[in-house]
């Protein structure tokens, strides 16, 4: 794995807003952990957050629209093999399987309780699905096992010194790594967020999920990475890493997102680049 021996110093110290973040943006970041990251809170509380996220995604259509984005990225592959990291409830994996007749999906999470819940549900008996505990920063699979790795609404959970490793690992086990995460708001956006989030949460989530999901949602927004941070993390994983930012998924209503596809140059593209520079 690239960079396993040490973390590039510039990346470890990088603000979530990226190397060029303003002082004001830096004020709006936190090292606080979400409930779903903590070992000192009950599984029951963590699962209330996961249930809340499932309900929001269902009502605003993000599970479906993220699945469409993922399948668009592998539109050139007849029978795509897909690994989902940080699946939580597993709804994105289920949507992918429903939309594509031959795709195979491994739905995974770091949290064994979430993986056990996914195994006990429809994914556990689906002929083209597997469920596994996987740490995004140390993926236990050989190189090129998958065509695509997808990580939805979870990349911000990783601090920079681990986030670049996830990019390195995902682009080792697959040709492409799709991240869909919360878009980092402006400082003003972060100030107004709780006032937008409260009524939305009340309208969309089961009562028991509202407070814990708002807690995690507010921390998430302070930990979201900017576009320039994505680019810097990609370069820390591999200086020749490609990153392509896609248009946000089409949705009438839902959290603003940042969508990026990381890939390493292939032998073909290197060959093409070299010929191009020889000819220029």
Tell me whether residue 87 or residue 106 sits nearer to ligand SAM (CB atom): 87
- By C-beta, is 80 or 90 nearer to ligand SAM? 90
Closer residue to ligand SAM in complex, CB, 213/226:
213
Nearer Cβ to ligand SAM (25/109): 109
Q: Least distance to ligand SAM from the beta carbon of 146, Å? A: 15
**Nearest distance in Å: CB 89, ligand SAM:** 6
Q: Which residues bind ligand SAM (CB under 6 A)?
A: 36, 53, 57, 85-88, 109-111, 114, 135-137, 152-154, 157-158
Least distance in angstroms from the C-beta of 182 to ligand SAM: 9
Least separation in angstroms between CB 102 and ligand SAM? 23
State the distance between the two ends of the chain, measured CA to CA, in whole angstroms.
34
Contact assessment for residue 150 and residue 85, using Cβ atoms and an 8 Å cutoff: yes
Q: Shortest gap between Cβ of 276 and ligand SAM (angstroms)?
A: 38
User: Cα 111–116–120 angle (5° rounding)?
Assistant: 150
Residue 60 or 265 having the CB closest to ligand SAM: 60
Judged by beta carbon, residue 19 or residue 33, the one nearer ligand SAM is 33
Nearest approach, Cβ of 85 to ligand SAM (angstroms)? Answer: 5
């Amino acid at each position: 794995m690239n960079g396993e021996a040490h973390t590039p110093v510039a990346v470890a110290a990088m603000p979530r807003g990226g190397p060029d973040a303003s002082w004001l943006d830096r004020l709006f970041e936190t090292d606080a952990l979400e409930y779903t990251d903590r070992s000192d809170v009950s599984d029951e509380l963590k699962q209330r957050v996961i249930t809340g996220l499932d309900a929001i995604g269902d009502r605003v259509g993000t599970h479906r629209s993220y699945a469409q984005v993922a399948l668009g990225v592998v539109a050139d592959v007849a029978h795509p093999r897909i690994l989902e990291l940080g699946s939580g409830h597993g709804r994105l994996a289920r949507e992918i399987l429903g939309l594509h007749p031959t795709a195979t999906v491994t739905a995974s999470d770091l949290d064994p309780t979430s993986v056990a819940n996914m195994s006990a549900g429809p994914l556990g008996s689906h002929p083209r699905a597997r469920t596994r505990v996987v740490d995004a920063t140390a993926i236990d699979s050989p190189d090129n096992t998958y065509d695509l790795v997808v990580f939805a609404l979870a990349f911000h959970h990783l601090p920079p010194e681990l986030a670049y490793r996830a990019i390195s690992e995902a682009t080792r086990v697959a040709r492409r790594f799709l991240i869909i995460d919360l878009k980092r708001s402006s400082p003003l956006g972060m100030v107004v967020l709780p006032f937008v989030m409260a009524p939305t949460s009340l309208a969309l989530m089961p009562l028991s999920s509202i407070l814990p999901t708002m807690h995690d949602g507010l921390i998430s927004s302070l930990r979201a990475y900017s576009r320039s941070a994505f680019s810097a993390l990609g370069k820390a994983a591999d200086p020749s890493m490609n990153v392509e930012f896609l248009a946000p998924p089409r949705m009438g209503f839902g959290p603003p997102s940042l969508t990026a596809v990381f890939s390493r140059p292939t032998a073909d593209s290197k060959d093409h680049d070299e010929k191009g520079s020889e000819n220029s």
